[in-house]
Structure 1
Amino acid sequence: MAVIAETLPAQSSVARDEVHQVLDAPRAQSIRVAYTTRFVAAEVQRNPQDFQILYRASMVPSAGDVVIAKVSELGKHTRLQSPVSRRQLMFVGQEIMVAYGHRYAPDQFLAHVPKDLGPCQLVASGGVASEVIEQHASIDQATQLEPVGLLMRHGQVVNLADFAPLDINNESPQAAQSGAVHPPVIAVLGTSMNSGKSTTLGCLVNGLVNAGLNVAAGKATGTGAGNDPNLFTDAGAFSVCDFTDFGFPTTYRLEYETVRSLLVAMIREQSATGADAVVIEIADGLFQGETSRLLADPIFTQHVDRVLFSAQDSLGAQAGERILLEAGVDLAAVCGVVTASPLATQEAQAQLSTPVIGTYELCRAEVAVSLLPAK
């Protein structure tokens, strides 16, 4: 197998079987880092000498593997979310640090981790590299990436899980010390993407905080991005985490047992913070694979006390109520985009036994507290 010297520049057009590149401090500083790779990048900044970049034609990436890639053509995503979720403008030719991952987004892309290190796409601004299978007709083609190579450390491919602060299989010291702490847990689900789930959760957090409660929040499934965790923090949650804190760039196509364990671990960790209440978002809609399986699993009602449901319209609200009640959950209220219209709200309430509450009404302390499960 041919080996090309370390001095070969990343942008060389020479045919490559294997390329090793040194990741020195200046280069590490120049690479644009994504939200998904923030914990890895922090270690790279501290000890760049421990890391290298390896391209080998036979390499097959896995979800969570960290890749250094060049932006070859801008498309749907022109900005990359930084570790603190600042939207960094990207330029063609820049190197970025992202993670391979699958994506399920009916409003954007269906994408799978590719089977090689060939050209791929940026399918989420939070920093997910993948191969687009399908896309929504209304959006631009995905931004194109040219992988330079996988990030390596001590001869091993670096995966997000290697530097994640939380682990689904091992309790943190805080959780281990807290014992069997069980604050009330509310989950927020919805009809689909963009049905208002994150806003509903943020407003509920704000209302509970306005009532003097300490609230912990989390996002258990979805695609890695900093928007929602930042929203939860801005709403007043004193502890916030998402699945990227456990080392996953996305949760789509994870083994179901992993998704199940992730939900339980997130509730466990957020319950151990000393919170008076824990609020967790479940991404996408009720028909999405992970969500539907979670709802059918007794583990869900064992760990989640009540549910708020975000709907886009009255028909979705009615269907969602039926599905959730059949699943045996304690459905507290319907909120979301449907409540932006007084007429749609009235239409929905006429068909539902569950109260329909305006999303921003949740910011009122008395409304939010009324949705907590009875002790």
Structure 2
Amino acid sequence: MSESDICQLKQERLTRAKAGYTTRYVDFNEIATLIGGEIKPKSGDLVLVRVDEIGQHERLEQGDGRKAILFRGDELVLCYGNRYAHDQFEAEVPEDLSPCHLAAAGGIAAKVLSQHVDMEMPTAITPIGLLGDQQGKPLNRANWALPITSYIGQRPPTIAVVGTSMNSGKTTTAAHLIRGLAKSGMKVGAAKVTGTGAGNDTWFMHDGGASLALDFTCVGFPTTYRATPKQVQEILATLTNHLAAQDVDAIVLEIADGLYQDETSALVSSIPFRQTVGYRICG
């Protein structure tokens, strides 16, 4: 990468851009440069893109939950990430900064490989460049992750909700479990351990009565598709350790996607999962 591939980025331009939910913990004051040229993006890398054609996703979910309407020519701040949703899109991080797609409304830039028959064509975007720090180093969502931490003490009872597929009622089940526990006077912590970055599920759990609701984006992952088993186990440990440190009486976890997806299957069959989770509800 040569110096000509790096240019200063004015904060005014960054402020005007619409930023996805996946970027909500990013300190935008640390973004100073725009990086182009022959560079291979990685999952979690921040990217500034231009909307070329509106397709399936007509809105971008922002950090506060507002669904911002998209227009052709809009500039967006997204994260690169892989995605697999059997009822929407399968997509992967591309090999370069060539045109790709808005693969998820929460702010995932990826190249769509296949789609469900009921989906419209994905919204087309062109990357303008990766977002970098003052020295021109690409910034990744992991730069603002919750620190890996340990927890010493008696662990609260931990319940995991898993399902055979997407849209099988996992979040609804988790939220109503939280509701019942909270109504009984318990302080409940909640977390979504796997999935694609979006706010609806954690807000649902918070509305059910969770005193704190976290998800994998808090640990620096815009999605968990194609994350290694070790990475997913570290996500589980970090989220549950942070919740336990809040002196909660119980923890409710949602394990997104279906049991047939590799990341979910590897997690629920792992020793760390069995050591962490005392109760499992399957749907």
Q: TM-score, normalised by structure 2?
A: 0.96
Amino acid at match of 1:74: I
- 8 A Cα contact 1:181 1:272, kept in partner: no
**Residue 85 of structure 1: CA displacement?**
1.5
**Residue 29 of structure 1: CA displacement?**
1.4
Equivalence for 2:200:
227
Equivalence for 1:55:
36
**Residue 55 of structure 1: CA displacement?**
1.0
**Which structure dedicates a bigger proportion of its chain to strand?**
2
Amino acid at match of 1:104: Y
Amino acid at match of 2:132: M
Measured in 2, the distance between the counterparts of 1:51 and 1:306 equals: 46
**Residue 268 of structure 1: CA displacement?**
1.4
Deviations 1:129-171 (A, max 9, x none): 001111111110110010000001022100001122x13xx31
1:115 corresponds to 2:95: yes
Question: What fraction of aligned residue pairs are identical, expressed as a percent?
Answer: 42
**Residue 195 of structure 1: CA displacement?**
0.5
**Residue 216 of structure 1: CA displacement?**
0.3
1:32 corresponds to 2:18: yes
Measured in 2, the distance between the counterparts of 1:218 and 1:201 equals: 10
Amino acid at match of 2:137: Q
Amino acid at match of 1:55: G
Equivalence for 1:286:
259
Amino acid at match of 1:95: E
Equivalence for 1:79:
59
**Residue 86 of structure 1: CA displacement?**
1.0
The equivalent position to 2:237 in structure 1, one of 249, 264, 282, is 264
**Residue 2 of structure 1: CA displacement?**
8.7
Measured in 2, the distance between the counterparts of 1:102 and 1:130 equals: 6
Equivalence for 2:143:
162
**Deviating runs (4+, > 4 A) in structure 1?**
none
**What SS does the corresponding residue of 1:189 show, helix, strand or coil?**
strand
Equivalence for 1:198:
171
1:241 corresponds to 2:214: yes
**What SS does the corresponding residue of 2:171 show, helix, strand or coil?**
helix
**Which structure dedicates a bigger proportion of its chain to helix?**
1
1:69 corresponds to 2:49: yes
The equivalent position to 1:102 in structure 2, one of 82, 94, 98, is 82
**Residue 191 of structure 1: CA displacement?**
1.4
Q: TM-score, normalised by structure 1?
A: 0.73
1:324-339 → structure 2 map (5 Å cutoff): none
Amino acid at match of 1:155: G
- 8 A Cα contact 1:183 1:275, kept in partner: yes
Deviations 1:335-358 (A, max 9, x none): xxxxxxxxxxxxxxxxxxxxxxxx
Higher relative contact order (CA 8 A, sep 6+): 2
Deviations 1:252-281 (A, max 9, x none): 101111111211221111111111000000
Which structure 2 segments of 5+ residues have no match?
Answer: none
- 8 A Cα contact 2:141 2:221, kept in partner: yes
